[in-house]
Amino acid sequence: MIKRLLIANRGEIAVRIIRTCRELGIKTVAVYSTADQDCLHVRLADKAVCIGLPPSPQSYLNRDNLLMAAINTNSDAIHPGVGFLSESAAFARLVRDNGLIFIGPNPDVIDLLGDKVQARKTAHEFGLPITPGTAAIADSDAACKAALDMGFPIIIKAASGGGGKGMRIVRSESELAENFTLATAEAEANFSDRRVYIERFLENPRHVELQLLADGNGKVAVLGERDCSVQKRHQKLIEESPSPGVTAEMRERMSESAIRLFRELKYQGAGTIEFLVEGDAFYFMEVNARVQVEHPVSELITNTDIIREQILACTEARLELDPAAVRVSGWAIECRINALTPGRITRLEVPGGPGVRFDSFLYAGYTMPPYYDSMVAKLIVHAPSRERALRRMERALSELCIEGIKTNQQEQQYIIEEKVFRSGSFGNAYYTQTFGVP
């Protein structure tokens, strides 16, 4: 077992990792920008190191500063968390080349999966169904030709993308040139990679993902699926597990294909395979070669500490859980609480009671900086059935009180009570259809 781990991230996910490390007896090192010196993860870690100024390229995306912080604190491993450098093969190689353990898959595997164009090709080679699409597109003329051959609507996606960045839906030839320019510019700004590709756009599919854990030696566990169809501008708002739109037969087919891919790749650690589901058909979308923000719903329905299993897989090439023994129990729902404004938290009251979990880095008196992702908390509930989980979430949202900043809490309350969402019959166009927001 490693003795000290540096967390190359901030906020809620850093707090989450620290808590599991403490149970494993692993010392933790937090890193922070000058804007984050009062963040909760800095307070909870055994050591903390300032790595730069607030802009991410000068701190959380600065590979050299992160590596030096790990070396100077005698850390054995680096956990990248989510976002930032969590899917950077170059960072993973830098970590390994300097004798440290990277809590994630092999850099060569990240290369295969981090590039969305290559990931589609790899998935197709291993028999996973994919939507019609292209390789990387060089310019708007080539994009136009490909789109006309494929037929509208299409979606432009960043080859190195994630989190909805660098994505543009195009419904006609007249819209293509402008959206191609915007997508490439956004891809360059967010990922330092202008490359984009095109896929056939499915109008209202479900967005379903499978949570997997693997030890790199052929042992692969599937912890059920999550439905992430409620999205605002491609950003997930609510996740639940199981998915109300996936049958047992489809779940088995999806799991078999996911296990086959992870075994062939000798995947190590936690990962997620995302699918678009239309009727009884599913199409590979991408692999997230890291732990996901929404991992708590999978933890609750399978009684598993995914961070613990991820660390053991990457440091000792083993899983504690038995893939054959994984059982899904009940229903879990997660609401992402996003800040709409920065500011000082003047009051924080956290809901409790049976089956309620609150993952956050907020505390009364903390001042939210304006520089980073807007998600400040995750409210998660677990209950024996979907209906009871929805009622529990209604109750938990009504108890949650965050004052001093504006959040999307009221919007989440509306969705949880809305009749179409309650019915379970919706796809990823739900938010647009409900609120009229493109």
The DSSP string of 147-162 is: HHHH-SSEEEEETT--
Q: Which of 10, 194, 290, 336 is catalytic?
A: 290
Instruction: Give the rounded distance of the alpha carbon of 264 from its chain centre.
Output: 23
Is 174 found in the same domain as 160? yes
Q: Which two tokens stand for residue 335?
A: 């609401």
Residues sharing a CB contact under 8 Å with residue 35, sequence separation 6 or more, in sequence order: 53, 54, 369, 371
Q: Which of 176, 200, 224 is the last residue of a domain?
A: 200
- Residue 302 is assigned to a structural domain of this protein: yes
Is 314 found in the same domain as 213? yes
Provide the 10 A C-beta neighbour count for residue 300: 23
The whole-number pLDDT of residue 163 equals 67
- Residue 339 is assigned to a structural domain of this protein: yes
Is 293 found in the same domain as 226? yes
Amino acid at 287: V
- Residue 117 is assigned to a structural domain of this protein: no
Q: What is the 3-state secondary structure (H, E, C) of 99-117?
A: CCEECCCCHHHHHHHHCHH
Q: Which helix (H) or strand (E) holds 284?
A: strand 281-288
Is 99 found in the same domain as 165? no
243-244-249-252 Cα dihedral, nearest 10 degrees: 10
C-alpha to C-alpha distance for 235 and 228, rounded to whole angstroms: 9
Of 397, 117, 113, 373, the C-alpha closest to 235 is 373
- Residue 406 lies in domain: 206-435
Residues sharing a CB contact under 8 Å with residue 381, sequence separation 6 or more, in sequence order: 332, 333, 355, 356, 357, 389, 392, 393, 396
Which of 135-140's residues contact partners 24+ apart within 8 Å by CB, and which partners? 135/197, 136/195, 136/196, 136/197, 137/180, 137/195, 137/196, 137/197, 137/198, 139/180, 140/176, 140/177, 140/180, 140/181
Active site residue 260: no
Is 375 found in the same domain as 226? yes
Is 150 found in the same domain as 74? no
- Residue 126 is assigned to a structural domain of this protein: no
Tell the burial category of 398 from Cβ atoms under 10 Å away from its Cβ (0-12, 13-18, 19+): exposed
DSSP 201: P
- Residue 111 is assigned to a structural domain of this protein: no
Is 336 found in the same domain as 295? yes
Is 78 found in the same domain as 11? yes
Q: Would the CA dihedral through 97, 101, 105, 110 be positive or negative?
A: negative
Domains of the chain: total: 3
- 3-state helix vs strand vs coil in the chain, percent to 5: 40, 30, 35
Torsion angles phi and psi, residue 316, rounded to 5: -125, 5
CATH number, domain of 194, equals: 3.30.1490.20
- Residue 165 is assigned to a structural domain of this protein: yes
Contact indicator for 4, 18 with CB cutoff of 8 Å? no
Which of 258-261's residues contact partners 24+ apart within 8 Å by CB, and which partners? 258/210, 258/212, 258/220, 258/222, 259/212, 259/220, 259/222, 260/126, 260/127, 261/122, 261/123, 261/126, 261/128, 261/287
C-alpha to C-alpha distance for 159 and 162, rounded to whole angstroms: 9
Is 401 found in the same domain as 350? yes
- Residue 112 is assigned to a structural domain of this protein: no
Q: Which of 200, 224, 258 is the last residue of a domain?
A: 200
The whole-number pLDDT of residue 166 equals 86
CATH number, domain of 16, equals: 3.40.50.20
Of 314, 341, 88, 332, the C-alpha closest to 192 is 88
Q: Which of 160, 183, 200 is the last residue of a domain?
A: 200
Contact indicator for 413, 420 with CB cutoff of 8 Å? no
CATH number, domain of 333, equals: 3.30.470.20
Q: How far apart are the first and last CA of the chain?
A: 48
Cα dist. 383→5, 263, 390 in Å?
Answer: 34, 33, 9
What's the length of the chain?
438
Is 271 found in the same domain as 188? no
Is 309 found in the same domain as 395? yes
Hunting for tokens 């009251």 — which residue is that? 349
Q: Which residues of the chain carry a pLDDT beneath 50? A: none
pLDDT digits (tens, 9 = 90+) for 273-316: 999 999 999 999 999 999 999 999 999 999 999 999 999 999 99
Instruction: Give the rounded distance of the alpha carbon of 242 from its chain centre.
Output: 17
- Residue 123 is assigned to a structural domain of this protein: no
Is 170 found in the same domain as 145? yes
